[in-house]
Structure 1
Amino acid sequence: MTRLSSAVTVGVWTDYSQHGKTLTLSNRDAVALLAFLATLVSVVGVRSWRITRFILFMICFPKSPSQTNPNDQTYDTTGNHTGDKIVPTQTLPYQVILRNSETPNGAALSLLSCLFSKPSIDPARKNQHRLQSTLLGAIALSHGIIFIALSILTSQIVLGGTVVSKATSTCGHWTVLANNESDRYLASSEWILNATLDTDNYVQNCYFGSQGTGIFDCEMLQSQSIPFSVFHNATCPFESHVCRTDSAFAMETHNITLAQLGINTKLADQLYFRKRTTCAPIREELFYVKTYTSNDLHWLKEGDNRTLYGFYFGSPDFPNGTLPHIVLNNRLSPSYDLTAYYIPMNVTNTTSQNHSLRLSDPLPRGYHGPSIVLLEGRGVNFHEKSDDPLWSVHTKVEYGNGTLAGIDLDEAPVMYRMDSDLNIIGCDERIQICHRSTNRCLPWSGLMPQFKATELDDRAAVDVDTVSDIHVPLLIVTPLLGKTSIPDSIAGRGGSSLRASRTLHNGRQLRLEPEQWKTELTYWFGLGMARLQLDIYKTIEKHDGRSIEGAMNMWADLRSGSVQDMLCGKIKFRSPNHTSLSFTGVIVVVAVSSVLIALSFFEIFVDLIPAKWRGDRVLVWASSENLALLEGKQRVESEALARGETKA
């Protein structure tokens, strides 16, 4: 599977699963934006210190006794402060440091260094001033650390590589419809085989807790896999006399929301489905029709018999609607032959159907019918017996007498083969779709479910938007559910689709699991779920590769018109070339930073207030500024020099 990097929506889009706006950028642009935001927060940390130091100055330094009566202060004709009638108290060093520090870290170092300087004040007040210096230094240090941390935490607005597809001209559900033409049939078979092999590779690397080799990318889809559970003592899905054993094996997905499949629509996280497949070994003799010998078919050799089995299919393409399956008796091929069929039935017409294939709980919706898996492998040899119902190995291999290639056949190792020419597994596969918000579910149906929006939400009867919100995600998913069947997981690949074939060497089965048939079914069920995930991903656009003539877009090439505008651009996946960020997070960082930077210029407006309206603490704040202190010192020196000259 190749990633789709060109079909990504770059910019702001709504992530309905997260209920918020998302900003998607190329990796380079995202890094630049994060660097800008981190720098912006660092600048805010410096500028906001101006606000913090002003607040600390106002809180920590009470009015001195010399400044309790504002009437004792003099002002010039413009209202500016000219001096006090009494001598003001001494300005403390940490007041000056706090007033003139430009950065919180610089203020912290300067304030804490005051602890080690020789005090020039009354020793009785030394501890109090040291405590204030320590407290102010700790606050300044905390301010700096907080904004350093906030600068680092700006990276938390990164949501990862999750992106949403954009509408493309080739988006849709692509397939090749087979017909009687050989070229079209071969093209359809190739299309199906390629899709199945893609899925098989994905499952081997990304399902069942597999770590894979690292070559295959398991981070591509919205969810790596679809979780499901297995049940070992299920009820036979057919009539009791049909199943070969008392119990059946069932697999059922959890409640899988359409959002987990990567669909990004308003109700995708509220609509969910579950699939249940119940399988059991069934008696092959119930489908026996006839055994053909050389007396029936002149071209058959003596002993080369063929057995015909029939399965009612209900299709006019077969005589009497019955699907024939011919088995070569005593087949000696050193490999397996595996065939599977999905047989949708008409539950309203049960009289003409083979009673053995009737499900015990037939469903009237969605072309419900059994799936059957047919296994042949009499030519495969086994080292041990097996009670597995799909293999059933107990028949000892007879070598005959004499020698072969110098080997005494009487001393040949004991080997076994399958007891029957044909073993069959029958399955009941069904789907149910539900709406979490309304707590409603459609009835269980076959793998091609039919639905009405009003069955899931009463508001759909009067609200067109509700109809659209329900229809859009379901129209994407439901046509693809039919390909999740067990036969579609096997997809005509024969014995190569068996997990047991991985331990088959030169016609010898080296090992079988204790319940190999369940291992096979579990893998095929997972294959069907992965097929659904990949098929949804492939709707983003037509993939590169061999262009198969006759490929049809089921979203565009419809008699009723195209539905591309309604369905395209709604698939979430992960792109290695893009980064998504919380758009709300970006806006909050920029907005708060802008406000704090603007507020940090408050001193400009404070200076515009007439001195008589500023208050004592603000006047002390202004007089503690470096230039104000320098001017005061120069004024005192000038006055002292003037007094000295007058005295002289």
Structure 2
Amino acid sequence: MVSSGNFYVQPEYVHRRGWTNWNGNAITGGKITMTKDTAELLNIFIGIFLVFAQAGLWDLIKFWCFILNRRLRKGTTSAPRDLIFHQQQTVLRSRGSPVSLAIAYGKMWKTYGWSEWKIIRRTWPLIGAATLSFGIFLVGVPFITAWILLDNQGVEVLIRSPNCGFWTAVFTDTESDNAAMTILTNQSWEAVSYVDSCYNSDAPSTLCDKFLPQRRLPTFEWSATPCPFDVDVCLHTNDVPAFKMQTEMLDSHKDFGINAPHSDRIQIQRTTICSPLNVTRFTNITKGIVTGEEITGVYFGPVTGENYTFAVSNLEKLATSGYHLSAVSNYVANGTTYSSTFTPIKELTLTNADVSVIFLNNNGIPIRGIDGPITDPFFSATTPSPYDKRFYYPDSPITAIGCTDQYVFGNPVKNQWTDPLPAGTDWANYTKDWGLTPLQSATIATFIWALGQTGAIDRVIMGLETEALLAKKYPGVFAGFQNPISDSQWKKEVDYWFKNGLAKLQLQLISIATGPPDPKLPGLQNALPIISYGRDDLVDKICGWQKVYNVEFKNYHRTGFIVLVVIGSLLVLVPIPAQWIYTAFGRPDEDLSSWNSYEPLKLMGIVSKDASQHEQRNREHDEISTVVEIELLMQGQDNGGPPATEAAPDPAPQAGQV
């Protein structure tokens, strides 16, 4: 993972205890987060734990099979207790693992006849049970534990950083200004890097697919729309209508990772409309201070200290070759301007949207045509080069695009929505009667701060300048000439800026949760303590609910893990007092006496095992299991002939046995 700014969350900022991922409910979404090393170590202990749990379960199965088999052959009307019965009981009492029991029962089946139905009926069920137990605990349960309880739980984690807050860079002195500008520039570079990698490319990567909750925020298809400004300032023809870009209703949990159940979620939508502007009508050319210099100025409203909005000198292209991209903005709140870098003329003044104007100084860069001149309004070049007819010179040194940005907040629980309004709107006043939950209020507060920090289209240009120009990257500028572009390049540019704005919003929420890399930098201030004064619950909800993906961690399914531990512990512990529990509920003592009576047979089998194997090594007929030999001797049979199946009594209880 890229370890730059908002692209990396420090491991110490990750919550490592139980929590609920509200992708599901309280049961299915329960997680226990731990590092990968801890998870692997825990898996080893769980594997050992499962061995003991399987042994305990098998002891219970053998005990109850022993009792059931004895009950079925008890009394004069029951099936006789023949030699096979005693062999079954001996194996149940003496065989510790399901594998050894399955092998012993398999030998019985082989010895007494492969096709005998009564033999199959008396051996196959235990063979199947033993095989199933072995398969479940040595194959199935480890697979369930490793995949369903661990690997299938994803790598989403909660951020819990002590530096969480609403941090802002304050321009107060030279040192603070430098820090503030660095932070703002880095945020823009992070966003453009993310857009280039994840929005404009489908290549899989950890950054794009295993970091933010959504690789791309979902949007509607772009569409043509009327120009949002006065008709006099819009370059309004049928060929170049305004261009509308709009997100879907973005869910605070699903799209931004603010962890919350459905009842605590908020939705937000961004709409951006851009249109080429009629620069020619608002352009004035004046003489410069140098002989032969001409200043081309565009007058969309004055900026600080100047009457024009943007101006270039005809001598600038002699000093530098390359594009120059700049932006001005006017932010409004509740119908009045509260922050601006220019005072827009009435044709560009809006009270219900934030306005950005982006200027391109092409510096006379020739553009190679595809099938003739370039008629794109932002890169218009229709004058053929006298040196190479394939290239065309720009029609004007300055072109401009105007954009508006509006937002809608919604409460999906009660189907309540605001009107499309600028980011600086008093949203608390608009939503005061919605009956929001505390977490919904905290989420809206988080979004309001994030929108204020990321800004409109102009903030994308700030810090990036020409690096925000898509044509410079692709198809690119080579040897001072612009490679061929389409006649709708301006739409690609505003689409690129819009995506950068979305990426900045995604990353800003992570920045709020983690805080700045170095909160001690001069000029940084945390406004959250002031905003949340007297409301500690608000801080907890803002700073404790942000999710990201982090491949350095793993999650265990909390409910599944608890169930595994509880059931496994019971399987390990219950067999120890099983006989006492059996008698405590009034069960016959003779069942336990019979169970204990078969214990010496186990010892006899151990003692005679080697001798029995020696005696039968050279025999031509099939070898009979050690347990079968012992039983034959107990019943007075000669093991040189076929096994007998007459009824035989239970072994007498040994002295001192209960």
Superposition TM-score, scaled by structure 2 size: 0.77
1:305 to 289, 294, 302: 294
Residue 327 of structure 1: how far off its partner (Å): 3.2
Q: How many angstroms apart in 2 are the aligned matches of 1:456 and 1:52?
A: 63
Q: How many angstroms apart in 1 are the aligned matches of 2:275 and 2:390?
A: 30
Return 5+ residue gaps in structure 2 as ranges.
338-342, 606-629, 637-658
Aligned equivalent of 2:361:
376
The reply on whether 1:605 has 2:594 as its aligned counterpart is no
Aligned equivalent of 1:614:
588
Aligned equivalent of 1:340:
327
1:397 to 365, 368, 385: 385
Query: Aligned with 2:217: secondary structure?
Result: coil
Whether contact under 8 Å (1:245, 1:281) holds in the other structure is no
Residue 511 of structure 1: how far off its partner (Å): 2.8
Whether contact under 8 Å (1:431, 1:449) holds in the other structure is no
Q: How many angstroms apart in 2 are the aligned matches of 1:231 and 1:154?
A: 46
Query: Aligned with 1:538: secondary structure?
Result: helix
Return 5+ residue gaps in structure 1 as ranges.
70-85, 400-411, 461-465, 638-648
1:139-179, CA deviations, whole angstroms, 9 ceiling, x for partnerless residues? 321222122211221122223432222241x3223322235
Give the count of matched residue pairs.
Answer: 580
Structure 1: which amino acid aligns with 2:49? L
Structure 1: which amino acid aligns with 2:124? T
Q: How many angstroms apart in 1 are the aligned matches of 2:485 and 2:247?
A: 26
Aligned equivalent of 2:477:
504
| Residue pairs, 1:126-141, within 5 angstroms | 126-141=116-131
Aligned equivalent of 1:284:
279
1:490-516, CA deviations, whole angstroms, 9 ceiling, x for partnerless residues? 114322221111211222012324532
Query: Aligned with 2:375: secondary structure?
Result: coil
Q: How many angstroms apart in 2 are the aligned matches of 1:601 and 1:195?
A: 63
> Cα distance 1:301–1:142, how it changes in 2: closer, same or farther (>3 A)?
same
Query: Aligned with 2:200: secondary structure?
Result: coil
Aligned equivalent of 2:248:
254
Structure 2: which amino acid aligns with 1:374? F
Q: How many angstroms apart in 2 are the aligned matches of 1:312 and 1:24?
A: 55
Q: How many angstroms apart in 1 are the aligned matches of 2:596 and 2:270?
A: 75
Residue 534 of structure 1: how far off its partner (Å): 1.7
Q: How many angstroms apart in 2 are the aligned matches of 1:335 and 1:618?
A: 96
Aligned equivalent of 2:189:
197
Whether contact under 8 Å (2:167, 2:516) holds in the other structure is no
1:191-240, CA deviations, whole angstroms, 9 ceiling, x for partnerless residues? 2112211222222223333427x696763333333232331333332345
Whether contact under 8 Å (1:67, 1:616) holds in the other structure is no
Q: How many angstroms apart in 2 are the aligned matches of 1:275 and 1:354?
A: 25
Q: Greater shift after overlay, 54-63 or 254-263? A: 54-63
1:30-51, CA deviations, whole angstroms, 9 ceiling, x for partnerless residues? 2222222232223222211223
1:12 to 11, 18, 21: 18
Whether contact under 8 Å (1:235, 1:248) holds in the other structure is yes
Structure 1: which amino acid aligns with 2:396? S
> Cα distance 1:453–1:154, how it changes in 2: closer, same or farther (>3 A)?
farther
Aligned equivalent of 1:144:
134
Q: How many angstroms apart in 2 are the aligned matches of 1:268 and 1:480?
A: 22
Aligned equivalent of 1:326:
311
Whether contact under 8 Å (1:438, 1:456) holds in the other structure is no
Query: Aligned with 2:229: secondary structure?
Result: coil
Q: Greater shift after overlay, 144-153 or 548-557? A: 548-557
Aligned equivalent of 1:107:
101
Whether contact under 8 Å (2:332, 2:422) holds in the other structure is no
Q: How many angstroms apart in 1 are the aligned matches of 2:462 and 2:308?
A: 17
Whether contact under 8 Å (1:257, 1:268) holds in the other structure is no
Q: How many angstroms apart in 1 are the aligned matches of 2:268 and 2:168?
A: 24
Whether contact under 8 Å (2:112, 2:119) holds in the other structure is no
1:348-400, CA deviations, whole angstroms, 9 ceiling, x for partnerless residues? 579x96332145xx53xxxx23222111204211121222221122112345x
Q: How many angstroms apart in 2 are the aligned matches of 1:487 and 1:23?
A: 42
1:430 to 383, 406, 416: 406
Aligned equivalent of 1:568:
543
Residue 307 of structure 1: how far off its partner (Å): 2.6
> Cα distance 1:89–1:267, how it changes in 2: closer, same or farther (>3 A)?
closer
Q: How many angstroms apart in 2 are the aligned matches of 1:605 and 1:328?
A: 100
Whether contact under 8 Å (2:223, 2:243) holds in the other structure is yes
Whether contact under 8 Å (2:295, 2:314) holds in the other structure is yes
Structure 2: which amino acid aligns with 1:114? M
Whether contact under 8 Å (2:367, 2:393) holds in the other structure is yes
Q: How many angstroms apart in 2 are the aligned matches of 1:277 and 1:268?
A: 29
The reply on whether 1:173 has 2:166 as its aligned counterpart is yes
Structure 2: which amino acid aligns with 1:39? I
Whether contact under 8 Å (2:333, 2:422) holds in the other structure is no
Aligned equivalent of 1:553:
526
> Cα distance 1:139–1:554, how it changes in 2: closer, same or farther (>3 A)?
same
Structure 1: which amino acid aligns with 2:378? L
Q: How many angstroms apart in 2 are the aligned matches of 1:453 and 1:593?
A: 55
Q: How many angstroms apart in 2 are the aligned matches of 1:516 and 1:508?
A: 16
Structure 2: which amino acid aligns with 1:284? V
Whether contact under 8 Å (1:48, 1:597) holds in the other structure is yes
> Cα distance 1:454–1:416, how it changes in 2: closer, same or farther (>3 A)?
closer
Aligned equivalent of 1:469:
439
Structure 1: which amino acid aligns with 2:219? F
| Residue pairs, 1:204-243, within 5 angstroms | 204-211=196-203, 219-240=210-231, 242-243=234-235
Residue 559 of structure 1: how far off its partner (Å): 10
Whether contact under 8 Å (2:160, 2:544) holds in the other structure is yes
1:230-268, CA deviations, whole angstroms, 9 ceiling, x for partnerless residues? 313333323455243433322222232222323235669
> Cα distance 1:453–1:573, how it changes in 2: closer, same or farther (>3 A)?
farther
1:154 to 102, 121, 145: 145
Aligned equivalent of 1:275:
270
> Cα distance 1:621–1:557, how it changes in 2: closer, same or farther (>3 A)?
same
Query: Aligned with 1:23: secondary structure?
Result: strand
Q: Greater shift after overlay, 244-253 or 146-155? A: 244-253
Residue 187 of structure 1: how far off its partner (Å): 3.8
Structure 1: which amino acid aligns with 2:470? R
> Cα distance 1:347–1:618, how it changes in 2: closer, same or farther (>3 A)?
closer
Query: Aligned with 2:53: secondary structure?
Result: helix
| Residue pairs, 1:524-539, within 5 angstroms | 524-539=497-512
